[in-house]
A and B are shown apart, each in its own frame.
Chain A
Amino acid sequence: MNHLKNTLRQCVIVFGCLAVAELFVSLTGIRFPSALIGMLLLTLLLKLGWVKLDWVQGIADFLLGHLGLFFVPPGVALMLHFELIRAEWLPIAVATLVSTVAVLALTGWAYQLARRCK
């Protein structure tokens, strides 16, 4: 039964971080994704040693290993916006491709340049 107890602990930690973050967002009213606050909270708890790595490693591997699956339902909502995409496919496609190349180039150059200057 030991592994089941650990599973519950893993769930409590990850969902607990999310719950605290949600509470924080709704109480303060800040416009920031709650899940990111939960992520930083989990990192902090691990760093402080209040949460041990092996307490959360299993559930983290599970969630991150299946990340793609959770993208499918929001993706399916695309069927609600076919009209919009038909009307604006050109700006969407060009902005996506050009901006992605720009990010690749400038991130790489920024790192290399900054390291040379250092």
Chain B
Amino acid sequence: MSALSNALAGNPAIPISLTIGAFWAAQVLQQRLKLMLLNPILMATAAIILLLQLAGIPYESYHEGAQYLEFLLKPAIVALGVPLYLQLEQIKKQAVLILLSQLVACVIGVVSAVLIARWLGASHAVAISLAPKSATTPIAIEVTRLMGGIPALSAIIVILTGIFGAVCGLTVLRWLAIKSPIARGLALGAAAHAVGTSHAMQLNRKLGAYSSLGLIVNGTLTGLLTPYLLHWLG
């Protein structure tokens, strides 16, 4: 290992500040240019990979420090309990409708992704990593890890799914004559999780509220049901 790689592995502050710095810069850039495609997660990830590759630093040296940031994904999911609590009344009023639509979203999302991937010749590990793609990343990573997929691949697929859903979601919903803002919000959140929700939030509060509901309920259902669905798919 090079001296640089050793320094990185021994000092968590270096990968942590590198990650925060790259993300911050990417966020500022996106706000300046106002382009959804320039997703800060995507840009920061690409920038760090490029840097590590150019400097010849192995992923393990970076991860030794960056794992402390990654760990915060878990308390962040726990914190989703707050918006969930705030929307409990709303959920109760339409519990059956919401649950039904999210159950459809979860089953369709997992089954269609796995079947299409297999049909096109994907390996088992890749198909499993695609299964939770519509759930928010921390949930998807947990599910993939649990089921023996590749968590890093899931993370990237989830982020790409979110960007695609946020950029094209409303156009698709318009084409399909899905007009109710509640239906649109639920669909956006279910398909494109947090990335779709943050986009919906910017457009309209009601759309954003239902999108976050879709994100939470579909994420939870995906976390709960994916192991069973995968077992059933064989």
Contacts and interface: CB of A to CB of B under 8 A. Distances in A.
B173 to A, nearest CB: 6
B153 A96 contact: no
Contacts of B137: 71, 74
Given A95-B116, A108-B186, A81 B73 contact: no
A118 interface: yes
Interface string A48-77: 000001001101100110111111111111
A113 B234 CA distance: 31
A107 B81 contact: no
Contacts of A72: 19, 22-23, 41, 44-45, 48, 66, 69
Contact of B159 (A40, A47, A75, A101): A75
Contacts of A78: 45, 49, 152-153, 155-156
Contacts, number: 317
Contacts of A104: 165, 169, 172-173, 176, 178, 187-188, 190-191
A14 to B, nearest CB: 5
A7 interface: no
Contacts of B176: 104-105, 108-109
Contacts of A31: 146, 227
Contact of A79 (B15, B59, B81): B59
Nearest to A16: B78
Interface string B162-194: 001100010011001011101110111011101
DSSP class of B's interface residues: helix, strand, loop or mixed?
helix
Chain B's interface size range is: 35 or more
B99 to A, nearest CB: 10
Contact of A100 (B138, B180, B191, B227): B191
B9 interface: no
Contacts of B37: none
B112 A73 contact: no
B208 interface: no
B52 A79 contact: yes
Interface in B113-161: 113-114, 116-123, 125-127, 130, 133-134, 136-139, 141-143, 146, 150-153, 155-157, 159-161
Nearest to B182: A111
B82 A60 contact: yes
Contacts of A84: 123, 125-126, 150, 153
Contacts of A39: 77-81, 84, 220
Q: By CB atoms of chain B within 10 A, which of A79, A96, A107 has the most?
A: A107
B79 A107 contact: no
A118 B75 contact: no
Interface of B: 15, 19-20, 22-23, 27, 40-42, 44-45, 48-49, 52-53, 59, 62-63, 66-67, 69-70, 72-86, 88, 96-98, 100-102, 104-105, 108-109, 112-114, 116-123, 125-127, 130, 133-134, 136-139, 141-143, 146, 150-153, 155-157, 159-161, 164-165, 169, 172-173, 176, 178-180, 182-184, 186-188, 190-192, 194, 214, 219-220, 223-224, 227
Given A33-B143, A70-B76, 4 more contacts: A60-B82, A95-B112, A96-B161, A98-B112
